[in-house]
Amino acid sequence: KAETFSLRTPYLSEGRTTDMVSETEDLWVHVKVYAQGGENSLHCHEDEDHTFVVLEGQATYWDQDHKETVVNKNEGIMLPKGAFYYFQSSGDTNLVLLRVGAGKNPYNDRDAGRMGPDGKPLPAHSTENKLVTGVPVPGKFFGD
């Protein structure tokens, strides 16, 4: 059956959050917020094509060759499975992203499918993945 979802999510004073807003066996949608910094060490998703759409802020992505791509509000980047990348918030506001993935759903096992350039798994919730827990700003939300 059809399912509706909301993109409403708290703004952050620090850290980052990832909220699953909808998923099926073959497709999943997240809203991600970054107060500063960004995500990740260089990595790829072996079994997942995915895209990020900037809803607010600006993101700068880098690939394995250190090529830089700036993605502004209302723009996106498509990352096919096996494409190495990492990104940082590069704007002066919270970075709010819509993330859509398709393929073999790694979220049944949060640490599956993410691989570092050394060929070893790179768990999503690890120090190596630069996890900083998000701290919501009371009463402030994207999507209000």
Predicted confidence at residue 117, as pLDDT, reads 92
Predicted confidence at residue 106, as pLDDT, reads 57
Beta bridge mates, 45: 114
Predicted confidence at residue 15, as pLDDT, reads 93
Predicted confidence at residue 54, as pLDDT, reads 98
Beta strands at 48-56 and 58-63: parallel, antiparallel or unpaired: unpaired
Predicted confidence at residue 132, as pLDDT, reads 87
Predicted confidence at residue 35, as pLDDT, reads 95
Predicted confidence at residue 122, as pLDDT, reads 87
Q: Comparing C-alpha atoms, which of 104, 53, 57 is closest to residue 79?
A: 53
Q: Please give the C-alpha separations between residue 22 and each of 59, 76, 84, 113, in angstroms, as whole numbers.
A: 23, 19, 25, 19
Which portions of the chain are predicted below pLDDT 50? Answer: none
Predicted confidence at residue 107, as pLDDT, reads 58
Predicted confidence at residue 108, as pLDDT, reads 55
Predicted confidence at residue 112, as pLDDT, reads 61
Residue type, 107: Y
Q: How far apart are CA 141 and CA 61, in angstroms?
A: 25
Predicted confidence at residue 72, as pLDDT, reads 98
Q: How far apart are CA 52 and CA 30, in angstroms?
A: 9
Predicted confidence at residue 131, as pLDDT, reads 81
